Amino acid sequence: MSTVDAVMSGASTASTTTKSAVQESEDRFLKLLVTQMRNQDPLNPLDNAQVTSQMAQLSTVSGIEKLNTALQAMSSSFAASQSLQAAGMIGRSVLAPGSSLLLQDGVATGGFELTQSVDHAVVTVKGVAGNTLHSVDLGAQQAGNVMFQWDGTTDGGGNAANGAYTFEVSATSGGQKVDAMNLALGRVGSVSLGTSGVMLNTDVLGSLDVATVKQIF
């Protein structure tokens, strides 16, 4: 059974179970009401207002249960639809929060997000041991997402080998530090649907929530 079929099947089962519970509540109420009316004191019969109030309460409870059932069905349908849409991202690259940098054939791409314009944005690439390999001042940058590329050259004049690295960003405006969110670029290999929602499984960023994606390429 496909993921979508399983989700829809589960939603159908939940809907049937809830409807059965609502029907049982209604049946129990009506039986109690009929029994109460049959055994009422002829000299002190049930007040019409009381009966109307009880019927209104039952209607309210029944309405809430049916609303919950409808919302659960809508939620399951939305999750399945979201999963299908996310499947279209397989094979594409996404930009999301992270400090990983993958160097392949002399090209590594990363980025960062600025909340405001800055005078200087310095990117520092580091090795596995945390040692600084290369630093570059990108100069003034506008607020928003900023992309950069590293060709693998080091400050010592050498060339780094293909593999995984990390980077840091230091941004300033008027001599004051400005927060910058590191953004890593990863390629989506598959999509999974779990209790946390739709997750994208990438080569560099690992498994990430589709809602955290900043940009798609």
* Burial environment of residue 78 by CB neighbours within 10 A (0 to 12, 13 to 18, 19 or more): exposed
Distance CA 76, CA 12 (A): 10
Residues 134 and 76 in one domain: no
β partners of residue 197: 194
Give the domain extent around 161: 93-216
Residues 43 and 126 in one domain: no
Look at residue 56 in the predicted model and tell me its pLDDT: 66
Residues 101 and 195 in one domain: yes
Q: Which of these three, 63, 87, 111, is where a domain ends?
A: 87
Look at residue 74 in the predicted model and tell me its pLDDT: 62
Residues 56 and 151 in one domain: no
Residues 129 and 209 in one domain: yes
Count of the separate structural domains present in the chain: 2
Residues 64 and 135 in one domain: no
Q: Assess whether pLDDT exceeds 50 at residue 4.
A: no
Q: Assess whether pLDDT exceeds 90 at residue 145.
A: yes
Q: Assess whether pLDDT exceeds 70 at residue 35.
A: yes
Distance CA 98, CA 113 (A): 11
Residues 67 and 156 in one domain: no
Token pair in block for residue 93: 């690259």
- Specify the CATH number for the domain of residue 122: 2.60.40.4070
Closest Cα partner for 171 from 136, 119, 124? Answer: 119
Span 185-208, pLDDT tens digits? 999 999 887 777 788 999 999 999
Residues 35 and 79 in one domain: yes
Closest Cα partner for 154 from 179, 130, 135, 168? Answer: 135
Question: Which long-range contacts (C-beta less than 8 Å, at least 24 apart) are formed by 195-198?
Answer: 197/79, 197/82, 198/79, 198/82, 198/83, 198/86
Q: What is the mean pLDDT of the chain?
A: 81
Q: Assess whether pLDDT exceeds 60 at residue 31.
A: yes
Token pair in block for residue 40: 């009422």
β partners of residue 192: 199
Q: Assess whether pLDDT exceeds 60 at residue 213.
A: yes
